[in-house]
Amino acid sequence: MKPVLWFLLSWKRYLKRPGFLILLLLFPVSACLFQKEESKAQEGILIAVYAESSDPDSLDQMLVKKLAAYKDALEGMFSFYPVSSMEELKNEVAARKAECGYVIYEGLEEKLEKRKLKGIIGLYEAPSTVAGLLSTETLFSLMIEEYDKTLFLNYMEDMLPGAKEEAGSGYGNGYLEAEALYDSFLQNGSTFRFVYEDSQYKEKGLLNSLEEDNKEETPDRENKEKATIFPVRGFIAVFLFITGLYGGVTLGQDEKRGLFVMLPAVERGLCRFASLAAPVVLGAASGMVTLWVSGEMGFWLRELLLLLAYAGAVALFSMAVKRITVREELLCCLIPFFLLGSLIFCPVFVDVGQYVKAAGLIGKLFLPYYYLALF
């Protein structure tokens, strides 16, 4: 029980160090702040929209609703929101609450039918902004997408005279069915489909078929496609690694003071490892909280086991480095070396290993540094 007792006493000692305790708490707090900032960033560029027509069934109001619900591959770049009056739109743009604002003038559908394309939509934008230039294509593409339905139904009505009035029987059923099919094919993404296949993955049997991919739940797919800007897991790995080296420095100082001299030989090694592993386990607990507050937490038991396994590997590596360096001063000097190596050469921000390998003779000089940092 002595190694366990030594481990708990080491915990108590580290928790009494204000600097180490602040670092443990600062890590999840920083991740939480970054996560909130990312959530704000996902709102995108705010753009106000106002339609002069008050008819809810008009193309004007339908376009406003479509813009307000706009989501696509660039979700997060633009965020359209409706306003109730022209004055409110001007005030929103003047106060820079919105980067720009669109006014949909009354009679949009009638003007499009008569091919009067000038003066159908007005743009108000703040000085020195490019939001209007960037968002115009999005607005007009959604307008045409909505107007195409009208053109299609008008065509169906020309082909089936009186179909619109006879809904529920005869031609009317075909008219309603055509309208439903148009909405269905427009929303389910089956009108156009682009598939990119990697021949290497395909040969290895790692590429799923289209049928299996289409069976995947939409919310799960959206969650997989969302990527966080803040590399939480990478920072946790580096944090635990540096914590382990810091524990090795502290262990060297304890050995100098003779704290382990009175222990039997077998217990001495276990107590040394327990002393070094204590800050790493505390760091793993901080990493677990960080995963939770940042929204990166998967199945908690799996995350816990992986963190503990990694913490154990870090403790063993730090113990080995401590044995090689012998002096804690030298190990302390190596911490910046390992820190820079981990942040630069490991795939925390970007995996530069491929560039190092492709750099020829110069890259080969850095390969030992790269592999050591990656390890």
Reported as a single tens digit per residue, the pLDDT across 154-181 is 777 776 665 555 555 555 556 667 777 7
Q: Answer with the residue of higher pLDDT: 4 or 190.
A: 4
Percentage of the chain modeled with pLDDT above 90: 9
Reported as a single tens digit per residue, the pLDDT across 218-231 is 444 444 444 455 67
Closest CA to 247 of 270, 271, 277: 277
What's the Rg (C-alpha) of the chain?
31
Q: Answer with the residue of higher pLDDT: 145 or 324.
A: 324
pTM: 0.51
Q: Across 15-29, 228-242, 348-362, which has the greatest mean pLDDT?
A: 15-29
Residue listed under structure tokens 């290497």: 200
The CA distance from 261 to 364, in Å, is 45
Reported as a single tens digit per residue, the pLDDT across 260-284 is 888 888 788 888 888 899 999 999 9
Weakest-pLDDT range from 76-90, 148-162, 231-245 = 148-162
| Residue 222: predicted pLDDT | 43
In this model, does residue 119 exceed pLDDT 70?
yes
| Residue 96: predicted pLDDT | 85
Weakest-pLDDT range from 13-27, 67-81, 203-217, 344-358 = 203-217
| Residue 230: predicted pLDDT | 64
Name the pLDDT band for 216 (thresholds 50, 70, 90).
very low
Whole-number average pLDDT of the chain: 76
Reported as a single tens digit per residue, the pLDDT across 4-51 is 888 888 888 888 888 888 988 888 888 788 777 666 555 678 889 999
